[in-house]
Every structure is written in C-alpha cells, then in structure tokens.
Amino acid sequence: MKYISTRGGIQSVSSAEAIKRGIADNGGLFVPDHIPPLTDSLFDEIVGLDYAGRAAKVLSLFLDDYDGDALLADCRAAYSGSSFPGGAAPVVHMKDGLYMLELFHGPTCAFKDMALQIMPRLLSRALSMTGERRTAYILVATSGDTGKAALEGYRDVPGVRIKVFYPSDGVSDIQKLQMATQEGGNVSVQAIKGNFDDAQNGVKKIFADKQLGKELHAKGLMLTSANSINWGRLAPQIVYYISAYADLCTSGVIKRGEEISFAVPTGNFGNIFAGYIARRMGLPVKTLVCASNENNVLTEFLETGVYDRNRKFRQTVSPSMDILISSNLERLLYFTAGPARTAGYMKALSTDGRYEILPSELDEIRSYFRGGFTDEKQTLAEIKSAYRTTGKVIDTHTAVAFRQAELYAANASEPVVTVSTASPYKFAADVLSALGKKDDGKAGVLSPLYALSSYTKTEIPAPLASLENKPVRFSGAIDKAAMASSLLD
C-alpha cells in the first residue's frame, strides 16, 4: 500500500515514510491509495483475538511494509495490562440500546493513549526502515489530551525529541499539571498565549518554514508530528471501532452484519474519521454522529456544506473540543471531492477562513454523518442525568456526545455506541459542579478529584492521583509568534 497527499501531486510513499514525515510536502495529509476490505474471514479471526491481536491484524492492512511479527510484538507491548489495567477498549451497557466505548483506561486517562502508546514504536521502526540518521523532532499542538499522551508515549524513546505547545488558558487544571510535571530527558512543554487553533496554526507554519527546516537539519534534526495529521496516529484509532463491533457480536447484542451507530465527541475530526475509515472497510456502521460543543463549526458544516471558522471562539467545559479548524476534515474531503477540489477548499480556508462544498458532496457526507451540538448548560445537565439514570460518571466531552447519542437513538433501531474519550477525573471540578457538589479546596488542584471520589464512591485513576507528588518542570507562556524560535532555543 502506498500513501498519497490529500492535495494531489505525484508524491507516493510507503507507510513508513508517511509516518516519518507526518505531512506531505505540499501541505496535504497522507491517505492510503486504497482502503483494504474487512473480509468475513478476517473478521472471524479478529473476533477471537484480544485487543493487541486485533490491533496487529488491522494495522497490518495499512502498514504492509512493516514486519508482521514485529507489529504484533509492538501491539502487545503497547496494549499490555500494565498500561491499560482497565482493559484497552471495553464496551459497557448504559441503557435502552445505548452503549459506551471506554477509551480512557490508559496511562494518561484519555483516548489519545490508544494511538500514542503504539505510535512511538511505529515511528522508531519507520526511522530504521527508511535509513533515517537524524533525530526525529516531534511537534505537537494540543487542546489538552494529545500533549500528555504524546509526552508519555515518546518519553526517553531513543532518536526522538518532542515539544508540545498548548493554550495557556485552554486546558483543564489537571491537563496542565499532567504536562507541567512530565518526566523524561527528551521532552519539552510550552504554553502559548492564545487558543488551540493558534497553537495548531503555529505548528503548521513551522512545518512549512523551509529556512527553519534547513537550520534544524544542520543540527541533525528532522521535524515530524504526533498529532492526528500523522497517519501513524490515526491508523490505530480505526482498530477500536472494529473491536467494539466484535465485542457487541460476541456478547450477543447484535448478529454479524447488523448495523450499529457511533456518537463521537469531535474537535479535530481525527477520532470520528477513523470510524469513517472502518465503515469504508466494510464495518456495518449506519451513522456517525458528530457531536460538537458550542464551537459548533462542524455542526453547521454538516447542515449547510459551509465550513466557516470566522466566528467567536468559545472556551467551554469540554476544552479538548474547543477547536475551529478541524484538520482531519481534509481527509474526508479528499475521499468525497478528490484532491483537486480539496486543495482548493484548503486554500480558501487559509485565505478566507471559509469554504463551501458542492451540494452533491454534502449529500454524500450526510448519507452517513449526522451533526449536532450540546451547549454548556446541556453538557452539565447530561452529566447529572447520566449519573442519576445509569450510575456512570462521565466527563464533559463524553457528555457532549452522550446527549447527541440519546437524541439520535430516539428515532433509531440499531444500537448506538458513544465513544467515551476521557476519565471524568481529568475534568473533576466541572463534573463535580454538574453533580451539584463542591470541594473544600484544601488539596489544591487535586481537591475536586478527592471530592468526586468521595461523592461517587469511585477510585481516582492512579496516573492522576500520583500528580500530587510530582514537581513542576515547565511553566510560563510565550507569544504565538515565538513558537518557531523556541524550537532553536
């Protein structure tokens, strides 16, 4: 399998090369030149495997230049019980045909662990397979969860350095503390004065800066990314959609071939796009419910075909979704409109901040996507309602999607699975407030965690409880204009 740019051109590279580079030379994102089918015989194999085995089977379809035995070994190391003590991606029943795919049982308590525990291994092999001698300098823009997951995944990995940028006032206190206390000799964390889009645009400008690239090359460094713009981050996310379907089959909820739908809290569009790829492979997915918060640019796009980032940016209780430029939407446009039109849309987004797709393209997208947004009041009410009716404590991002799942399920006959993306303890203060409780503040940043645990009789995840004793290593914030120079510093 070869990988090509969403914006066209004659460039075609191996999966190892695509993972090493992160982004195509013309600014486009790498996509596979064809989508491998999920055959009946392959699914039969997948059903009988544990999560690591399932991951190796699915990834081998997209990374066919990787050695199969090595890939399986990497998956077993990435998804071990020590890293995912609660299981890699369990599906739990909520109520009345509603299920939850829990992706937050990893070392940083967020769904990004599902990709960022395996991606460093994929990159290390890619560097070796392509004969790369330079040190890989990984740049990450994060709205909260990707940063910590990438830092933890790449910590002290040989041949790699990593720098994470995050908006100083755009992440939760726990997310900030997780990054500020990150251990490792090859890691760097930098807050910027701005929002996530500023951080993401700054990283994209760095990749496009040829002179800076030359300076880094002279220092023996090559730039690459751990954001979901890198196919090595996105491909592992396809696995858990297929795994969830397999689990529903083995538990007797559905029979082989019956459809299900997914509701996904969506910001940068990578998570839900992975579900789209699973659907294109042949997974019986009827609808992908794209759930947004009050930054509802995607809801409007799915309703009108107009993508317009020229709007007020809102800071919400679901900060990892506070995004106005959903980078992975470019990949969906490629599969819908082709490379030439995609390049035109991306140019319009860059120059005008908006674009409008053709009615026929919108009709195709709307045949399997549905959009909806949950406002702040509804998000908090959903947390309380879910706890009252199911006994489950959900975080602010999962609540955005669970409300949309309930609305969709009211007129659906198939099971609906909400993709739960973070532990409620990462956003404990807002979850606690939604439940009508307060903390005493005596334990500082961790006070809401202790109060939430006491009230709900649930345990604080060990990775978060351990933050109490970790020293802060990274502090202060820089202007977004100083992002490039901070790399050389």
Kindly state the average pLDDT of the residues 13-28: 94
CATH of region 91-105+244-425:
3.40.50.1100
Burial of 268 (0-12, 13-18, 19+ CB in 10 A): buried
Could you report the per-residue pLDDT of 343-369, keeping only the tens digit for each? 999 999 999 999 999 999 999 999 999
Q: What is the pLDDT of residue 144?
A: 78
pLDDT of 250 > 90? The answer is yes
Q: What is the pLDDT of residue 193?
A: 94
pLDDT of 11 > 80? The answer is no
pLDDT of 225 > 80? The answer is yes
Spans of all domains in the chain? 91-105+244-425
Between vectors from CA 23 to CA 348 and to CA 142, what angle results, nearest 5°?
85
Q: What is the pLDDT of residue 208?
A: 87
Q: For residue 304, what are the CA distances in angstroms to 370, 390, 438?
A: 12, 35, 41
Residue 459 CB coordination number (10 Å) = 9
Kindly state the average pLDDT of the residues 387-404: 98
CB distance 341 to 332 below 8 Å:
no
Kindly state the average pLDDT of the residues 476-485: 93
Kindly state the average pLDDT of the residues 305-320: 95
Kindly state the average pLDDT of the residues 192-198: 91
pLDDT of 468 > 90? The answer is no
Kindly state the average pLDDT of the residues 328-349: 98
Kindly state the average pLDDT of the residues 356-385: 98
Q: What is the pLDDT of residue 145?
A: 82
Q: What is the pLDDT of residue 10?
A: 74
Q: What is the pLDDT of residue 419?
A: 98
Q: What is the pLDDT of residue 146?
A: 87
Cβ neighbors of 445 (< 8 A, separation 6 or more) are 173, 174, 177, 467
pTM above 0.75, yes or no: yes
pLDDT of 370 > 80? The answer is yes
Instruction: State the catalytic residues.
Output: 112
Between vectors from CA 211 to CA 11 and to CA 477, what angle results, nearest 5°?
110
Could you report the per-residue pLDDT of 54-87, keeping only the tens digit for each? 999 999 999 999 999 999 999 999 999 999 998 9
Work out whether the CA dihedral 325, 329, 333, 336 comes out positive or negative.
negative
Q: What is the pLDDT of residue 138?
A: 93
Q: What is the pLDDT of residue 124?
A: 92
Confidence band of 43 (pLDDT split at 50, 70, 90): very high
For 39-43, 140-144, 421-425, 445-449, which range has the lowest pLDDT when averaged over its residues?
A: 140-144
Residue 7 CA to residue 12 CA, distance in Å, equals: 12
Percent of the chain topping pLDDT 90: 88
What one-character-per-residue DSSP string does 95-124 give?
Answer: ETTEEEEE---STTSBTTHHHHTTHHHHHH
